[in-house]
Structure 1
Amino acid sequence: MDRIKEYIVQHKDQILADIRYIVEAESPSNNKKLTDACGRRIQDLFRRYFNYQAAEIVEEKYGNHLRFEYGTGKETILLLSHFDTVWNKGDLIFKVEENKVYGPGVLDMKGGLIQAIWAIKALVDLEIPLNKRIVFLCTSDEEVGSPSSKHVIEMEAKISNYALVMEPPVVGSGALKTGRKGSSRYFIDIKGKAAHAGNNHKDGISAIKEAAEQIVFLESLTDYKKGTTINVGSVKGGGKLNVVPDTATIGINIRVKTNEEQKRIDRIVKSLAPHQEGLTLKVRGGMNRPPMNRNKEGAKLFKLARKVARDLDMDLKEAYVGGGSDGNLTANMGVPTLDGLGAVGKGIHAKNEHILINEIPNRTALLCKLIGSL
C-alpha cells in the first residue's frame, strides 16, 4: 500500500473524530456567533497538530476567516475551504450509520476541510519534502456568495501559483471539477400602494402582483441550450389579507456559462421597469462569481492529478458543473485551479447530506500526493 494512504488508514478513526468535532460545531453562514465558535475548533486543530496559530481575519457581520501557512518556497499553493453551512442550528444532527457520516456541512464542506488538514499533517509526519509554500484559507461565508472573503481570496490568488478547492467531487463519478458556471444574486424590492381590499381596492397598487409579473418575465430568460438558468428562489410580501400589499421582495439566482452572458443578464435585471405607474423597483446585488472555464493550465493540473490518482489505483475523471465555488474566483484571475478535492458523498444542501468513510483514505492521500507533486 502507498505509504501516504497507509498513514491515512492508520489514522482514520482520528480523522473521523476531527470531522465530528467541527460538524457538531454548527455554523450557519448568517450566525456569526456560531460560525466563530466553529472557527475556534478549527484553530484548535491547527494548534494541536502543527503548534501553529492561524492568522484570524476579523469580520463584523460574518464569521472570522482563518489563514494557515506552512512551508517555504518561491511558489505558493492556495488551499480553499469554507466552514459555514446552509443549515440553521438544529436542522440536522451528526450520526454515523455503517459507511456513512451524516451531519450539517459534513459534505459541504467540513469533511474536505479536515481531509486537507490531514493531508498537510501527512506531509509533516512522513517528512515529505515540499518546495512550495502552502496557504490554507478557511472562510466563513461561501454559502452566501463570499461577500466578506472574496477580496481575501483574490488577494491571495494574486500571489499564488495553484489553487486547490476542497469542495466535494461530482456525486456518483467522483470526478474533479475543471469548469463551473458563473453565478449572480439579486434582490428586487417592490414598493406599491396600500389600500383596503374591500372598500378601496381600486386605489391600491399591488406589489405582489408586480412581483408575479416580474417573476414570469425573469424565469422566461432561462435558456437550457445556452446553459442559462434563472431561479426566483424567494418571495416575500404583503401581510394582512384585507389590505392591498404595498411591499414585496423577490430573490433571484442566475447561472451562466460565459462572461458575456452573465453581463447580458445583469443588464436586463438592472434595467427592469415596473408594469404600472405608481410602483417603484429597487434592484440589489449583482454578478457574484464569474464562470470557471477550463483552460490550458487547468488542464495540466488535472492531468497531474490523474497521474497521481493512478498511483492510488484511482481512475480520476473531470467534469463541468452548474454550481459555483470560490474556485471560480481564482480561476478567473488566471490561477490554475482544481476543484472537487474534498470528501466523497451525497446530499449537498439536502437532509441526507453525508460522506462515505471508505473514501476518506483515497481522497486525503490524493490531495497529499498532489500537493507533494506540484
Structure 2
Amino acid sequence: MHAQEALVAHIGELVRRESPSSDLDAVAESAEVVAALGERLLGVAPERIVVDGCTHLGWSFGVPRVLLVGHHDTVWPLGSLERLPFRVDDGIVRGPGCFDMKTGVVMALHAVAALDDRDGVGILITGDEELGSPRSRALIEQRATGCRAALVLEAAGDGGALKVARKGVSLYRVHVTGRAAHAGLEPEKGVNAAVEAAELLLAVAGLGSPDAGTTVTPTLLSAGTTTNTVPAEAAFSVDVRVRTLAEQERVDVAMRALRGRDASVRIEGGPNRPPMEEGSAAELFALASRVAASLGIPPFEGIAVGGASDGNFTAGIGVPTLDGLGAVGGGAHADDEHVIAEFIPQRTALLEGLLRELLSEGSRRSDR
C-alpha cells in the first residue's frame, strides 16, 4: 500500500501553489510544481504544452494504451490560502483544490511511479478544466485517440463511488434586440426586449425532459438601461445537461430555432461537452471492481452524475472511460472542501492495480 504520509505531503505541495484557471501566470507556476513532483517520482520531466498561454503537462511511456487524465487548475482565486490554509485535522485534508482535484493528480503520479513497467501509459494534466477545457479539448482528444482506456482522476462520488456516466453540457447565451422608447411618453413606439426575452425564457425552460434526464435551465438574466426606458437589449444564459447525444442535438436544434415576435434574436454557444454515456465505463467498472476485491477494498457503486469532466471528451471519441478514481471526500468548490486521508493510499493502490491489469491485457493481446 502506498505511504499515506508521502501522499499527503505531496498534496500539500500542490495545494500551496494556488492555480485559479483564469490566471495564466498562476497556472504556469502551478504546472512547474506539478512537473517537479512528477519528475522526482517518475524520473523524467514532462512535456510542457502551452496552448494560448495555458500550461498543460504530459508524460508518455512508449505508445500510450491507457491515458490518465487530470487537471491542476482550480476555481479558487489567489489569496484563498490565507483564509483556508492547507492543513490536516484528525485525518481530514483541507485546502483549496485538495478535493477537486490536486489529490487525484498526486495519486496518478504515485500509481504510475509504482509500476515496474510503464510502457503503454500516458498522463495528461491540464490547466483549464474548470473553464470547460477550451484550450485543452483538442489535446485531450488527440492524446486519448487509439487508447484502450481513459482513467479520469476526478474526485469520487459519495462513499467512494466511481462515476460511470456524466451528463453532457451545452451552454448558450440568448441575445434579444428590440427598440428603445420613453416608457412614459411613447412606450408603444418601442419594442420591449425584456418582455420578449421573458417569453423566450419560458419557452427555453420548457425544452427540458424529466423522463430523458434532460435539464434546460435559464440562469443569468439582464435587460434594460434605465427605469423609464423601454429596454432595447436583453440577454439570458442557458445551462443544458443531457444523458444522451440525441437529447443534446434535439435541444440544440430547438435553441437555434428561437425567434422573437418583433425583436431580433441571436444565439451564442452550443454543446460544450458530449455526454459520457454509461456503456463507455461498463467493462472498466467491472475490472475495477475485481481489482478492488483482490486488494481487499470494500465494494463501491458506479453512479451517474450531472456534472461534466474531461472524461466526457474521451468517451465522446469512443474511448472506454472510467471517472471518479480520485479523492474520497467532499465540498468541491466550497469552504469545506476536504479529502479523507485514510482513503488516499487505498485509492492509489486501486489505480495502480487497474493500470497493471490494463497493461498486461494489452501485452496478452499483442502476444497472440
Tell me, in whole angstroms, the C-alpha distance in 1 between the residues paired with 2:185 and 2:45: 67
Per the alignment, residue 28 of structure 2 pairs with: 36
Cα deviation per residue 1:61-103 (whole Å; 9 max; x = unaligned)? Answer: 6x22111223x3x651101101222333345623433222223
With 186-195 and 75-84 compared, the bigger mean Cα shift is at 186-195
1:66 to 2:52 alignment: no
Counterpart contact for 2:216–2:238, Cα < 8 Å: yes
Aligned pairs for 1:189-338 within 5 A: 189-275=175-261, 277=262, 279-295=263-279, 298-314=281-297, 315-338=299-322
Per the alignment, residue 156 of structure 1 pairs with: 143
Cα deviation per residue 1:299-339 (whole Å; 9 max; x = unaligned)? Answer: 22212211111133221321222222111221222212111
AA matched with 2:149: Y
Counterpart contact for 1:183–1:291, Cα < 8 Å: yes
CA 1:259–1:118 in 2, change beyond 3 Å: closer, same or farther?
A: same
AA matched with 2:326: G
AA matched with 2:60: E
1:136 to 2:123 alignment: yes
Counterpart contact for 1:94–1:101, Cα < 8 Å: no
Counterpart contact for 2:72–2:101, Cα < 8 Å: yes
Aligned pairs for 1:48-63 within 5 A: 48-60=40-52, 63=54
Partner of 2:336: helix, strand, or coil? coil
Partner of 1:225: helix, strand, or coil? helix
Counterpart contact for 1:222–1:228, Cα < 8 Å: yes
CA 1:53–1:230 in 2, change beyond 3 Å: closer, same or farther?
A: same
Counterpart contact for 1:68–1:137, Cα < 8 Å: yes
Counterpart contact for 2:15–2:86, Cα < 8 Å: no
Tell me, in whole angstroms, the C-alpha distance in 2 between the residues paired with 1:29 and 1:233: 22
TM-score by length of 1: 0.87
Select which of 324, 343, 346 maps to 2:330.
346
Partner of 1:146: helix, strand, or coil? coil
AA matched with 2:74: T
Tell me, in whole angstroms, the C-alpha distance in 1 between the residues paired with 2:168 and 2:265: 25
Counterpart contact for 2:42–2:112, Cα < 8 Å: no
Counterpart contact for 2:84–2:335, Cα < 8 Å: no
Select which of 182, 188, 196 maps to 2:174.
188
Per the alignment, residue 76 of structure 2 pairs with: 87
Tell me, in whole angstroms, the C-alpha distance in 2 between the residues paired with 1:138 and 1:80: 6
Counterpart contact for 2:16–2:86, Cα < 8 Å: no
AA matched with 1:269: M
TM-score by length of 2: 0.89
Tell me, in whole angstroms, the C-alpha distance in 2 between the residues paired with 1:51 and 1:69: 12
**Structure 2: unaligned runs, 5 residues or longer:** 359-368
With 95-104 and 132-141 compared, the bigger mean Cα shift is at 95-104
Tell me, in whole angstroms, the C-alpha distance in 2 between the residues paired with 1:103 and 1:203: 56
Per the alignment, residue 66 of structure 2 pairs with: 77
Partner of 2:295: helix, strand, or coil? coil
Tell me, in whole angstroms, the C-alpha distance in 1 between the residues paired with 2:155 and 2:260: 41
Tell me, in whole angstroms, the C-alpha distance in 1 between the residues paired with 2:79 and 2:142: 35
Tell me, in whole angstroms, the C-alpha distance in 2 between the residues paired with 1:195 and 1:30: 39
1:108 to 2:91 alignment: no
Counterpart contact for 1:192–1:247, Cα < 8 Å: yes
Aligned pairs for 1:11-30 within 5 A: 12-30=4-22
Cα deviation per residue 1:21-51 (whole Å; 9 max; x = unaligned)? Answer: 2223222222222222212211221233334
Select which of 102, 111, 117 maps to 2:109.
117
CA 1:331–1:249 in 2, change beyond 3 Å: closer, same or farther?
A: same
1:47 to 2:39 alignment: yes
**Structure 1: unaligned runs, 5 residues or longer:** none
Counterpart contact for 2:51–2:136, Cα < 8 Å: no
AA matched with 2:125: C
Count of paired positions: 354
Per the alignment, residue 98 of structure 1 pairs with: 90
CA shift for structure 1 position 367: 0.7
Tell me, in whole angstroms, the C-alpha distance in 2 between the residues paired with 1:35 and 1:195: 47
AA matched with 1:38: S
CA 1:325–1:229 in 2, change beyond 3 Å: closer, same or farther?
A: same
RMSD between superposed Cα atoms in Å: 2.1
